[in-house]
Amino acid sequence: MGNTDTNAATFPTPMGADKSAPDPATPLTERETEVLRHVADGFTNAEIAVRMSLSEKTIKSHVSSILTKLHLADRTQAAVFAWRQGLTGK
C-alpha cells in the first residue's frame, strides 16, 4: 500500500525467471530486451552496437522504443526497470 511506483506494480519480478526470455508482461521484442540488458549493465549505445554487430543508430532507435513502450523517461529508469525484472548481468 502507498507504493506509487507503477512500474513495480505493473511488471512484477518473476520468481526464478529465465533471464534469456523476456517477461511476458513486458511489451518488448527479444532484440529490445537484449538492448535493455546492455543499457542496464552500463554500456553506451556505441558499445552496445559493437557487441550486437549493429549500427549505433539502430541501437538508439531500440533504446527510444524501449523508453516509449515502458513509459520511462531515461536510461536510468530503464536500467532500474531491467534490474527489477532480473535482466541485468551484474
pLDDT in tens, 24-65: 566 899 999 999 999 999 999 999 999 999 999 999 999 999
Domain boundaries, the chain: 44-90
- pTM for the model stands at 0.71
Please report the pLDDT score of residue 88 as a whole number: 85
- Whole-angstrom Cα distance, residue 15 to residue 89? 16
Reply yes or no on whether the pLDDT at 17 is more than 90.
no
* The CATH number fitting domain 44-90, selected from 3.40.630.30, 3.40.50.2000, 3.90.1310.10, 1.10.10.10: 1.10.10.10
